[in-house]
Amino acid sequence: MAAMARDLLAQDSVGSTLDRIGASATELVEGCTAAGILVLHERRVETLAATHQLVVDSDRLQARLEQGPCFDAARTSRGERVYRIADLTAESRRWPVFAPQAHKLGVGSMMGFLLFTEDDDLGALNLYSREPGAFTEASELAGWLLASHAAVALSAARTHAQMEQAVSTRHAIGEAMGILMGSHHLTEDQAFDVLRRYSQENNVKLREVARQVCEKGGLD
């Protein structure tokens, strides 16, 4: 598990971190044959790093029904340690509509873990098996530990990506201001004001306005 944590933190992008989380789940959690990360955008569901189509199908079903272990894990801030259906062939009192339909998709058992850090709720790590009763107490502990390390790594990767984007944006704005200053004999403040005003009047992000100036040499 320690080697896995180092491996997650060593990934160089958000995408590679997500992919490694999914791969680690099937490698380290007993009984897990498919995994993915479910992210809620209000009521819209996004599936990330799915290792099998079964994960995508299950996430879509949970979004449509607005119930299920993974859906509840993603939308419940700091709730239970794990949201679990041990056997989808049996009746589920907690998710009575979802369980039989998920079983028809081929799900035998599943677990959902909230991915969270001190500052953010990042979604849910979802683990699947086609076999009923596939997950043991050891599986649950391994899943919880993986989710804990995954949340830290994913948060760090997102922060790094945001910092890189901020640096890139500042560079593009500076370059665009230089182009406007040279072509229109503007001061630095005047050039920035041109960019800012165009952004506001056309409802376009400032970085996109700067990119347009850099690519075309000016504004339309």
- List the CATH number of the domain containing 190: 1.10.10.10
CATH number of domain containing 16:
3.30.450.40
Do 207 and 137 sit in the same domain of this protein?
no
Do 123 and 138 sit in the same domain of this protein?
yes
Do 134 and 176 sit in the same domain of this protein?
no
Do 133 and 198 sit in the same domain of this protein?
no
State the greatest distance between any 2 C-alpha atoms of the chain, in Å, as a whole number: 75
Do 78 and 174 sit in the same domain of this protein?
no
Q: Which domain holds residue 211?
A: 166-216
Do 211 and 112 sit in the same domain of this protein?
no
Do 68 and 170 sit in the same domain of this protein?
no
Q: Render each residue's pLDDT in the chain as its tens digit; 220 residues.
A: 556 555 555 666 667 777 788 888 898 899 999 999 888 877 678 888 899 999 999 999 999 999 999 888 888 765 677 899 999 999 888 999 999 999 999 999 999 998 875 556 568 899 999 999 999 999 999 998 888 877 777 666 566 555 667 677 888 888 888 898 888 888 888 888 888 888 888 888 888 888 888 988 888 7
Amino acid type, 85 = I
DSSP letters along 138-170, please? Answer: HHHHHHHHHHHHHHHHHHHHHHHHHHHHHHHHH
